[in-house]
Amino acid sequence: MQNLIDNFFSYTITGLTIGAVYALVALGYTLVYGVLRLINFAHSEVFMYGTFAALWVVMILGGHPGAGVGQVIFWVAMMFVAAMAMSGLVAVLLERVAYRPLRKRNAPPLIALISAIGASFVLAEIMGLRSRIAGWVGLDDTLRDYVRNSRNNAGLPTIIQPQPIFTIGGYHVTNVDIFVIVGAIAIMVILDQFVKRSRLGRGIRAVAMDPEAAALMGVNRDRVIQVTFLVGGIMAGAAAVFYMLKIGITRYDAGFILGVKAFTAAVLGGIGNLRGALLGGFVLGLAENYGSAVVGSQWKDVVAFVLLVLILLFRPTGLLGESLGKARA
């Protein structure tokens, strides 16, 4: 407990930073659940592909530490473009291959859940085999050192040097901390306005509220579902960029634990509730940081999973409740 008291602000800022990543990934779970009543467990791999896309584009562009501001801005912008495009594409393909055929056959929810778990393993193993795939498509010369050990950690060059902006309670808040937290909130606000005000957003809310009535009103359900997966994938891509800038390391199974935690954040905030996903991500990030300070860092993941069990036992609708109908996305 004394460790938490002495380093309270350090644990708080770092908790909010990783919580921002959880929140953005949780949005994908929330959107898909709100529309399909399906827990898309393969969403963690959608995030993982985004981390690799961000890494690849920096490597291809020759990213390195100590570059000028203009170069850094360009590299970060390209990271967002590559990660969002990759994650969005994987999410759309996932819906097309793993879920739509089952939906057309009116398969029971359990079958869709099994398909989601299977798709998760397939996507992870495909990335684990990337060295062979790179060889098949002739990339070994370009990325020889990287693809040789395809199941090892892959690190991003430190293109943004963490620099203290201000100090609070003895902790130096860096430019990366601020960028991740403020960026996640800004993206969340944009998504919230998209769902509320755009035509596609109204379609998402309509399908979430009553799919049959929405179809009678001329809403194309398949198109709405596809857009929902795309938007969730784009959010995962943004989370992947923030994750790489803060953590800097990824691997083929990097999405597994983080995906479970993001699902916990979605449940904590109220799965099916966009603002709940944001709140749940920040609360979870703080809770696991505070918990690790009290009981030890080796119990950090356990804290998150215990919190998930407690939520399901005592408040299964989450802090803000399910709400993807009225604004239930």
Quickly list DSSP for 215-240: HHTT--HHHHHHHHHHHHHHHHHHHH
For residue range 258-286, list pLDDT tens digits in order: 999 999 999 998 888 888 899 999 999 99
**Which CATH code is given to the segment(s) 2-148+157-314?**
1.10.3470
Out of 11-20, 132-141, 289-298, 299-308, the most confident range is 11-20
Q: What is the 3-state secondary structure (H, E, C) of 145-183?
A: HHHHCCCCCEECCCCCCCCEEEEECCEEEEHHHHHHHHH
Which pTM was predicted? 0.89
For residue 271, CA distances in Å to 140, 222, 280, 318 come to 43, 22, 9, 7
Residue percentage of the chain with pLDDT more than 70: 91
Which residue, among 235, 239, 229, has the nearest Cα to 200 in the 3D structure? 229
Instruction: Give residue limits of the domains in the chain.
Output: 2-148+157-314
